[in-house]
A and B are shown apart, each in its own frame.
Chain A
Amino acid sequence: MEASPEYAVQMHGILKTFGQFTALDHVDLDVRKQTIHAILGENGAGKTTLMNVLYGLYQADEGDIFMGGQKVSITSPTDAIGMGIGMVHQHFMLVENFTVTENIILGDEVCGSAGILDMGRARQKVMELVDEYGFDVDPDAKIQDITVGMQQRVEILKALYRGAEVLILDEPTAVLTPQEIDKLIEIMHDLIAKGKTIIIITHKLKEIMQSADECSIIRRGVYMGTVDVKHSSETELASKMVGRNVNLTVEKTPAHPGETVLQIRDLTVKDERGIEQVRGLNLDIRSGEIVGIAGIDGNGQQELVDAITNIVRAESGTITINGEQIQNTSPRTTFVKKVATIPSDRHRWGLVLPFSVTENTVLERHADDEFGAGITLDYDTMREYTTQLIKDFDIRPSGCEDERMSGLSGGNQQKAIIARMVTSSPNLLIAFQPTRGLDVGAIEFVHKTLIAERDRGAAILLISFELDEVMDVSDTIAVIYHGQITGTFAQGTVDENQLGLLMAGGEMR
């Protein structure tokens, strides 16, 4: 495509390699002025790399960048900001104990004579921006005291304050609640109306359908084309992104629950700061049944899982697995009682990243005689075992037994954890945010595995902040609010609005 003033940003033939690895293979991107342009791709497809090239964090090996039809050279973020490009990273770059105003002006301070900070004028400038775009942000609040959604708006303000005309949002919805996502989409449309151009990086199809005008798709560093979102569908986008047809609906047969496996009675758990997060919670899960916990992050989900896995002590109450109490024992005991857990933060709890894939796959079971007699560790047996798991669970790249776990993509790291947990044939499988950060192909795999485990006869506890996931996968949906289960429903007997109300602490009529 020719460079033209109709386009805010054009990137043509961008090639970026890291050593032997080609992250971007002559990728094109043409973003029309005053549109929301989504960049869609699986994890590791090169979306963020492409945006880092645009923002000057990386230099392309080949290719040209045009803005408004003019060829530009961007070699640092300072260049990019100077040309009116702003980027909001997935992980916010804010100083927690600074106020909103202080954060916004940081690095571009308003100074009076003799270089003395003029906070009054700075605050006024920030207020003008807040009013102009109708943001609901208190300029004097400290970052640590405001919600994640507001923090994101502060990041957007930061970019606008620096005169951004083109805003890059990297996975902007990953940390937001459904209501906050709606608010963000509203803000994005406002910004477009005021003449800005927005590029969003995402792998969430629903949000693209809701917000974007056009969508460019990248698959393994290769540009797959741009589609007009109005004339497309989620299924089309998904298949273009993954390169095959993807089943977006979860297919399963009715559950045939058996005996009660997990029984929780009056459980109370405190968090690190000594505040009660689980407050007298009761829950039952039977074998052959998936119970999904719907709730907004921070309502006791983490502490519930920590107590079952014995990472933290329960203050009171009982946790029973097949009739045996396991509360306040040890993580080892939990595993011996055949409770396996897919943790929410796989890098923190699930994997030893500098270890090889082989060393990771035996993590709970390294002490078993199967992997070496006495004090020795038998790497040959471990490797054979890992080869089998790689094959069974399609962990890629194949033959990665001796590679470092940190070298695998997020989806494959998750597969490695799931492989580990499922091969222990658990009685209770806890899946806490099992699809966090995964692309549609990997999500499909995770859901299929959970259902297969259910059909094998395991009890499944699914905890997710994605309401759709809970509603699609679970046989029974339980709502958690303020550390208690506030409602339990069979799948199909409740809708999104009713659940949303309960999740926010409302009463059901």
Chain B
Amino acid sequence: MSKLEKFLRGRLAAAIAAVIIGFAISAVVLAAAGYSPVQAFAQLFRGVFGKPKYMANVFIKATPILLTGVSVAFAFKTGLFNIGAEGQYIVGTVLASIVGIKLHLPMPLQVPIVLAAGILGGAALGAFVGWLKAKFGIHEVITSIMCNWIAFYLCNYVVMSDTFHKPNSNSALPVSSSSYTMILGNWKKSAEGKAFLKGIPWLREIMLKTDLNYGFIIAVLVAIAISIVLTRTKLGYELRAVGFNRDAARFSGISVERNIVLSMLIAGAISGLAGALTITGISPHTITLLAAMESYGFNGMSVAFIAASSPLGCIPSSLLFASLIYGGMSVKAPTEIINIMIGIIVFFTALPGIMPVLANRLAKQRREREAAAAGKEA
């Protein structure tokens, strides 16, 4: 086997090669649309790595989709398709906002309570979907899509309600500032902090010009925790057994119904956390009137698929996806073209299965060459 063949059969290599192919084909599309691919990719690259604050923003953008990605990946590993991450995310933002607006506790109490509210909201919505499936056998995709719209309009209702609406705006009141999760949020705005940051320009840029927050760190910890739960605990074992073979799981005494509800509950909780962290971490620190779905849940599905449903794989894949979205804004071409480009790259990244096929083709060509050479010698 040649080195290239072996390389193509590796999982990591497959992912890398897929990204490269995705870029190559989107280059063709860009060229066909009359834009220089070289320039577009350079702009994309600069849009990600050009300034420290850009990079900080990529991490900020990656936070919610990493979590919704882990949510989708986790559910998928247990045999469920959590298309409802979007709704769970929205409910997470709504509950975190409501609790954050109403409560004014000191930070060490306030932050966990606000986050817990979001987690609870997402978990409840997820568990509801799981319960409908376990009890009545209704497919989770159908109920999830319905729940997405329920969450969507619930959000708009809360935004416009007398209690929470911020007058003359499209948003609800902001949550109390003790709910914020920005890194050194108060210190960086103090005189002392400003004086310190003046000496370090790149840090000053990141700290003062972005909402850099603890969200990404929390999301990474969640990804690691979920990975451990899946592979090293009895709960994860049962969830996966149910996911792979419901009948055999039931036959061996595992409660299938309980595990379906539990799986959707956990998946919902993770998406709900994503919503809560957006409220606590990013201005305007509240929910706004939604005109359309914000796609945090749907992008999470892309993140999960790129990662082949590995919770840990969601970490790099969410960063890649966030880079494309955020860096794409710097490309000087119509948004549609940029979105097509992103789409093509994601499309190929989510198809690592084509790499072994390529490897097989190479192997076949090699055999034919060898056969031809052997024929000549004879």
User: Interface of A with B (CB < 8 Å)?
Assistant: 61, 309, 311, 330-332, 334-335, 341, 343, 348-355, 359, 363-364, 366-367, 372, 375-377, 379
Query: Closest CB of chain A to B365's CB: distance in Å?
Result: 14
**Stretch of B67-75, B133-141, B235-243, B316-324 with 4 or more beta carbons under 8 angstroms from chain A:** B235-243
Query: Closest CB of chain B to A364's CB: distance in Å?
Result: 5
A-B complex: 4 closest residue pairs judged by Cβ atoms: A332-B253, A363-B252, A349-B251, A352-B245
| Given A350-B248, A354-B244, A355-B244: A375 in contact with B253 (beta carbons within 8 A) | no
Whether B248 lies near A349 (C-beta < 8 A) is yes
Whether A331 lies near B237 (C-beta < 8 A) is no
Query: Closest CB of chain A to B370's CB: distance in Å?
Result: 12
Whether B250 lies near A366 (C-beta < 8 A) is no
Tell me the B311-366 residues at the A interface (CB within 8 Å).
Answer: none
| Given A330-B253, A331-B253, A363-B241: A351 in contact with B248 (beta carbons within 8 A) | yes
| Given A311-B250, A363-B248: A377 in contact with B232 (beta carbons within 8 A) | yes
The bracket for how many chain B residues form the interface is 20 to 34
A-B pairs with beta carbons under 8 Å apart, 20 shown = A309-B251, A330-B255, A331-B250, A332-B253, A332-B255, A348-B248, A349-B248, A350-B248, A352-B240, A352-B241, A352-B248, A352-B249, A353-B244, A355-B240, A359-B237, A366-B234, A366-B238, A375-B233, A375-B234, A379-B232
Whether A377 lies near B241 (C-beta < 8 A) is no
Whether A353 lies near B245 (C-beta < 8 A) is yes
Whether A375 lies near B244 (C-beta < 8 A) is no
Task: List chain A residues, Cβ under 8 A from B244.
Answer: 352-355
CB nearest to A349 among chain B residues: B251
A424 and B221 CA atoms in complex are apart in Å by 39
Whether A366 lies near B237 (C-beta < 8 A) is yes
Q: Within 8 Å of chain A (Cβ to Cβ): is B247?
A: yes
Task: List chain B residues, Cβ under 8 A from A349.
Answer: 247-248, 251
A372 and B237 CA atoms in complex are apart in Å by 12
Task: List chain A residues, Cβ under 8 A from B254.
Answer: 332
Task: List chain A residues, Cβ under 8 A from B235.
Answer: 375
Whether A335 lies near B253 (C-beta < 8 A) is yes
Task: List chain A residues, Cβ under 8 A from B238.
Answer: 366
Whether B234 lies near A372 (C-beta < 8 A) is yes
A332 and B252 CA atoms in complex are apart in Å by 7
Whether A364 lies near B234 (C-beta < 8 A) is no
| 7 additional contacts (CB under 8 A) given A331-B251, A376-B232, A379-B232 | A332-B255, A349-B248, A352-B241, A359-B241, A366-B237, A372-B234, A377-B232
* Interface class of chain B by DSSP: helix
Query: Closest CB of chain A to B227's CB: distance in Å?
Result: 14
A377 and B240 CA atoms in complex are apart in Å by 13
Task: List chain B residues, Cβ under 8 A from A352.
Answer: 240-241, 244-245, 248-249
Whether A348 lies near B247 (C-beta < 8 A) is yes
A355 and B240 CA atoms in complex are apart in Å by 9
Tell me the B248-294 residues at the A interface (CB within 8 Å).
Answer: 248-255
Task: List chain B residues, Cβ under 8 A from A331.
Answer: 250-253
Task: List chain B residues, Cβ under 8 A from A364.
Answer: 252-253
Query: Closest CB of chain A to B24's CB: distance in Å?
Result: 28
Query: Closest CB of chain A to B247's CB: distance in Å?
Result: 5
Task: List chain A residues, Cβ under 8 A from B245.
Answer: 348, 351-353
CB nearest to A20 among chain B residues: B1
Query: Closest CB of chain A to B231's CB: distance in Å?
Result: 8
Whether B234 lies near A367 (C-beta < 8 A) is yes
A376 and B234 CA atoms in complex are apart in Å by 6
Whether B253 lies near A377 (C-beta < 8 A) is no
| Given A375-B234, A377-B233: A355 in contact with B241 (beta carbons within 8 A) | yes
Whether B251 lies near A311 (C-beta < 8 A) is yes
Chain B, residues 196-222, CB within 8 Å of chain A (1/0): the string is 000000000000000000000000000
Task: List chain A residues, Cβ under 8 A from B241.
Answer: 352, 355, 359, 363
Whether A343 lies near B237 (C-beta < 8 A) is no
Query: Closest CB of chain B to A259's CB: distance in Å?
Result: 26
Task: List chain A residues, Cβ under 8 A from B237.
Answer: 359, 366, 377
CB nearest to B256 among chain A residues: A331
CB nearest to A333 among chain B residues: B253
Task: List chain A residues, Cβ under 8 A from B233.
Answer: 375-377
Task: List chain A residues, Cβ under 8 A from B250.
Answer: 311, 331
Task: List chain B residues, Cβ under 8 A from A379.
Answer: 232
Query: Closest CB of chain B to A421's CB: distance in Å?
Result: 11
Task: List chain B residues, Cβ under 8 A from A375.
Answer: 233-235
Query: Closest CB of chain B to A227's CB: distance in Å?
Result: 35
A363 and B236 CA atoms in complex are apart in Å by 13
A377 and B241 CA atoms in complex are apart in Å by 14
For B232, B245, B249, B250, which residue has the most chain A Cβ atoms within 10 angstroms? B245
Query: Closest CB of chain A to B109's CB: distance in Å?
Result: 28
CB nearest to B253 among chain A residues: A332
A460 and B375 CA atoms in complex are apart in Å by 62
Query: Closest CB of chain B to A354's CB: distance in Å?
Result: 5
